[in-house]
Structure 1
């Protein structure tokens, strides 16, 4: 009897310890992170990316909070896919609204206001094997690339103000130990150089031709400068010759004028 009572007590202690451990390990998740529960600018990809980078466990609490006019309804997968507003239970309008994950079942939530669900205000929360199966089927890498591409496109168009670091955190979540940043949205080698090495050779050939053309232009410029200098020297020499000729003509003209002067004027000039 005593051993039986002791066994029951041990089992009771184990139950309490498991409950305490579950309570201690439970996490609270704000759906969407900083985006909260809203119409995401990038559509459904935003909440898929957020859910895929979190590891939900039984006992965790999922918090829906929002600004503006929204609600949250748990629905079946079929209604989730089609955005049919038939809820499992009651559509929740209290802000915030909390849901506790009590089983391994994947759960589906949407906003039933207007066309919010069609615009991407929907999220899938999965636990355990169901979660990892669904996460792998989503091809998270492709989704992340798509989300990052959408961000960069909006930034390029000027419709969104966001730094590269902010885009990384929005798509992949905060950086932490063990995560190596390895994303990018720049051109690929194929996009830059073409599909074969011939494009590289063509570019090298064009570069060489441009360099040779520059050298030819420099040589032509030097030649033109030299020719201009020579012409200037020739002009200066010609000008000096003309000046000498003018001086000679003036001297001859003065001599002729003197010989043609009347005798009286010549005598007057000589007496003077």
Structure 2
């Protein structure tokens, strides 16, 4: 199979997966919007990005980054505060990593590559319960 055909199949598979996932969750947030999951020019960039959003159970975060250049680790508050990897809950390394927010509470993420975390590539969000239906 040619490289072009393999890339086309990969692209269509990725788009199809994203469409299926977006149907099964409430909101999909591309972390960092246009910047994606990359080192920001300001350390507080991702805090500011999250402040304008309300995250609920069932929502999804999409971390867009190039494999090998970044990672996403989900950690506890202490590891987040110290950019440490002592208690990693989940690790994502393949790029375009979706994370479904499954329960209410605080979620902490950062890039474990080099000094990326210390340079502001970290995100803390608070997730609320799903809103009750009006039925």
Output the TM-score relative to the length of structure 2.
0.72
The structure-2 alpha-carbon separation of the partners of 1:24 and 1:98, relative to structure 1 and needing over 3 Å to count, comes to closer
Structure 2 contact 61–101 (Cα < 8 Å) conserved: yes
Tell me how many residue pairs correspond in the alignment: 106
**Unaligned stretches of 5+ residues in structure 1:** 1-22, 130-272
RMSD, aligned CA: 1.9
* Higher share of residues assigned strand: 2
Q: Establish whether residue 100 from structure 1 lines up as the match of residue 97 from structure 2.
A: no
Runs of 4+ in structure 1 displaced over 4 angstroms?
none
What is the distance in 2 between the residues matched to 1:77 and 1:26? 26
Report how far residue 35 of structure 1 moved: 0.8
CA deviations over 1:80-138 (Å, ceiling 9, x no partner):
00000235334210111111011111100010000000000000121239xxxxxxxxx
SS of aligned partner of 1:106: strand
The structure-2 alpha-carbon separation of the partners of 1:128 and 1:91, relative to structure 1 and needing over 3 Å to count, comes to closer
* Higher share of residues assigned helix: 1
What is the distance in 2 between the residues matched to 1:89 and 1:56? 20
Provide the residue aligned with 2:45 in structure 1.
46
Q: Tell which has more relative contact order, 1 or 2 (C-alpha 8 A, sep 6+).
A: 2
Q: Establish whether residue 85 from structure 1 lines up as the match of residue 85 from structure 2.
A: yes
What is the distance in 1 between the residues matched to 2:87 and 2:123? 14
Larger Rg: 1
Report how far residue 52 of structure 1 moved: 0.5
Provide the residue aligned with 1:62 in structure 2.
61
What is the distance in 1 between the residues matched to 2:87 and 2:95? 17
**Unaligned stretches of 5+ residues in structure 2:** 1-22, 130-135
The structure-2 alpha-carbon separation of the partners of 1:87 and 1:72, relative to structure 1 and needing over 3 Å to count, comes to farther
